A and B are shown apart, each in its own frame.
Chain A
Amino acid sequence: MPRAIRGVLITCEPAIKSILLHIDKTQLNNEAIIEDLDDTHLFVKEQMLKTLQSKLDEKLKETYRVEQPLEDSDAEGN
C-alpha cells in the first residue's frame, strides 16, 4: 500500500537546491525539508515554506549585486 504525504514540492535549480539544503541543516534544524527528491526537486513541510523562502532571499542578497539603471535628467532623486 503506497503512502501519501502532504507537503510542498519545490522545483528549482541545483545551485538553489544546495543552498536550501544548507539553510535547512544550519538554520532550521532539518525541520523544513522532508525529502531530497532529485537534483531539481525538494519536498518540504507546508508550514515551513515561508520561512525557507525568506531565508533564501536573505542568503541571495549577500551574493547578488544589483545593477543600478542609468540615471537621467529628471529630478526623481529627491
Chain B
Amino acid sequence: MASTSFAPSSFMLSEYLEKLPGATFRKLYQQPSTAFAIFRRMLPHLAKIYVQALLYMPEPLSVKDLDVWVRPEGKTASNRAIGILRSLHIVSVIQPSKDKPQEIQLTNNFKKSLRLALEGGGSHSSFGVPSRLPVNPEIDIPFLDNWAGKIWQDILYYVVNSVPVRNDSGGGSGYSSQGGPRAAVRELLLMGGLVRRGDGGGVQISEHGFNFLLQEANAQVWTLLLLWLEAADRSKAAAKGGAPVPATSLDNVEMLSFLFMLASLELGRAYDTSALTDTRRNMLPALADFGLIYIDPRNREQYFPTRLATTLTSSSAALRSVSASLDAATKKNPGDAGSLVAGAGVPEENGGIIIETNYRIYAYTSSPLQIAILHLFARLIMRWPNMVSGRLTRESVREAIKDGITANQIISYLAAHAHPQLVRAAAAKGTPVLPATVVDQIRLWQLESERMQPNAGFLFKDFDSVEEYAEMATYAQEIGVLVWKNDRKRHFFVRKVEQLRDWLKARKKGG
C-alpha cells in the first residue's frame, strides 16, 4: 500500500469510486437508490445543477451551448464540475465529428435510474422492502441510537486505546475493561493501517488512526466500509462468520449498491431480509458488527438500519468531528450521527479543559475517550476521579505531529473544549480563548518538524512545444490537480493523472 503511505484520504469514497472501471459504474447505476445517493452525496453544487439540467433533455447538449451558461470567471469551476461528473461516469462527452460539434449527455443507466428515483415507479425494490412481520416494540429509535452508538464508541475506543502507554501515569491504563469491537472489525482496523501491531504484541494507533479519529463520524463510517470493500476484493474466499464473502467484481457492485440502499432506508423501521439477494444477506452480520444495522436475535427475518446507516449519504457538513461531537454531546442534540456517537458513552461530558500560559493543562473530565484523546498530544501527569492534569511539552506535541495530528487540530480541539470559565474570561476581555503563547508555540513545534512537505503524484515533462505545455498546465489547473509548475523548464506536477491522460488522447485524435 505504498500509494497510501501519506494519503489517508485515499480511503475516501470519491477516490475509491474514481478507481472503479466504467463497467462497474454501469452496473451500479442500474439501481435507482445508488444513482440517487451518488447524486446527493458525491456531487458539488454546480455538478448537481448540470445533472438536473441534462436529466430531461431528449438530445445530447453541445458543449458550446453549455459554455454559454458559464461566465468566463466561472470556467474553472465549471470544468472541475464536469471533470467530477466524467470521473464518476455520470456524463459522457461525445467527441466531435464532421457534422456534429462536441456534445455532452448523461450516461444511460444513470439517467434512467435517477429519473426512476425521482418519479417513483418500477419494481426494482431498490429502496428496501419493509417487513410485514410484527415488530418488537422495544426496538425504537432511542434503542437503535443507543446500540449503534455503543458499537461505534467501542471501535473508537479501540483505536484510541491502542496508543502506546508512555511512562507517565494517568493515560493509557484504567479503562481497558471494554468489550471492544468484534475480532473481524479489529482485523479490519489493523489491515487498513489505522492501528498497527506494536512490539509488545499489543496494537498501536497509526497516523491514519489519528486522522480517522478526528474525522467526522460519517467519514469514519465510510473509511471503515471502504476498508471492508477492499478487504473483500482481496480475499476472494475469506470466511467471515462462517459465510464465504464473495468478492467478484459483480458482488463488489452488489455490496456498494447495498450500502447506498441502506442510506435511503428509514430509521426505526424494520426491513425484510428475505427480499435481499444472497450477497446482501451475507453482508448483514458484518454490517451489524459496524453498528450500521441491528438484527433482532429473536427475529432474524428483520433488520433495522441505524442512524449510522441512514446518514451515510447525507451531506457531510451536517456531521461533526469527534472533537465537535464530544462538544455536541453536552448540548444533547440528537440530530446526527456525530452526536449519536459521542452521546452514547459520555453523557455528562462538559469539555472543561483549562490551559495556562505555562503549558499546563487541567481537564475536568472522567470520560475515557476525552482523556485518551488528550493523551495523544499532552503529557498527562496526574489523574483524579473527576480531573486529569498534565502539560503540553515539545516532545508530546511533536510525537502527535509525527503521528499525523496537526497543530491546528490540537488547537481547535483545545479551544472547542475549553472550560466555560476560560471562555467567559476571554469573552470579557475580548481575547482569544487559548493563551496566545501556547497557540503560537504549538504552531512553532509543528513548523519545526515540517521542514519538507511531500506530495505524491506525477511529474510531467518533455513537452513538444510551449503551446502543448501551456494548454495542458492550464487544463490541469482548471480540473484542480495541479500542485506546482515551472514555466521556464516546462515542468509541472499533478496529484492525479487519469483525466490528463484522457485529455492527451483526445487532443491527439483531434489533430
Contact = CB atoms under 8 A, between A and B. Distances in A.
Interface residues of A, number: 35
A9 B361 CA distance: 38
A11 B452 contact: yes
B432 interface: no
A38 B486 contact: yes
Contact of A5 (B358, B359, B458, B469): B458
Contact of B453 (A10, A37, A43, A47): A10
Contact of B489 (A10, A37, A74): A37
Contacts of A34: 459
A10 B462 contact: no
B454 A2 contact: no
A53 B462 CA distance: 29
Interface in A7-34: 7-13, 16, 20, 34
Nearest to B462: A3
Contacts of B456: 7-8, 46
B508 to A, nearest CB: 8
B332 interface: no
A5 B461 contact: yes
Nearest to A7: B459
Contact of B454 (A10, A60, A69): A10
Interface in B306-354: none
A56 B472 CA distance: 35
Contacts of B391: 76
Contacts of A8: 454-457
Interface in A48-78: 49-50, 53, 56, 60, 64, 66, 69-70, 72, 74, 76
Given A9-B493, A46-B2, A76-B391, A4 B458 contact: yes
Contacts of B486: 37-38, 41
A54 to B, nearest CB: 11
Nearest to B168: A76
A53 B458 contact: no
B460 interface: yes
A13 B451 contact: yes
Interface string B442-470: 00000010011111111111111000110
Contacts of B452: 10-12, 16, 20, 53, 56
Nearest to A74: B381
Contact of B451 (A4, A6, A56, A66): A56
B484 A41 contact: yes
Contacts of B455: 8-11
Contacts of A13: 451
A18 to B, nearest CB: 12
A64 to B, nearest CB: 8
A2 B463 contact: yes
A37 to B, nearest CB: 6
A20 B451 CA distance: 11
A56 B453 CA distance: 13
B394 interface: yes
Given A38-B486, A56-B452, A70-B358, A6 B458 contact: yes
A3 B497 CA distance: 11
Contacts of B462: 1-3
A33 B6 CA distance: 18
A56 B486 CA distance: 26
Nearest to A72: B358
Given A50-B5, A72-B358, A9 B451 contact: no
Contacts of B493: 9, 43
A51 to B, nearest CB: 12
Contacts of A10: 452-455
B461 A3 contact: yes
Given A5-B459, A46-B2, A11 B453 contact: yes
A9 B454 contact: yes
Given A4-B497, A69-B394, A60 B491 contact: no
B481 to A, nearest CB: 12
Contact of A9 (B2, B472, B484): B484
B185 interface: no
A74 B359 CA distance: 13
Q: Which 10 A-B pairs have the closest CB atoms?
A: A12-B452, A11-B453, A9-B455, A4-B458, A9-B493, A2-B463, A5-B459, A3-B462, A16-B451, A8-B454
23 contacts: A1-B462, A2-B468, A3-B461, A4-B500, A4-B501, A5-B459, A6-B457, A7-B458, A8-B455, A9-B455, A9-B457, A10-B454, A11-B484, A16-B451, A38-B486, A41-B484, A46-B2, A46-B3, A56-B452, A66-B394, A69-B393, A72-B358, A76-B381
Given A2-B461, A56-B452, 17 more contacts: A2-B462, A3-B460, A4-B458, A5-B458, A5-B459, A7-B456, A7-B457, A7-B459, A10-B454, A10-B455, A11-B452, A20-B452, A35-B459, A38-B489, A41-B484, A41-B486, A46-B2
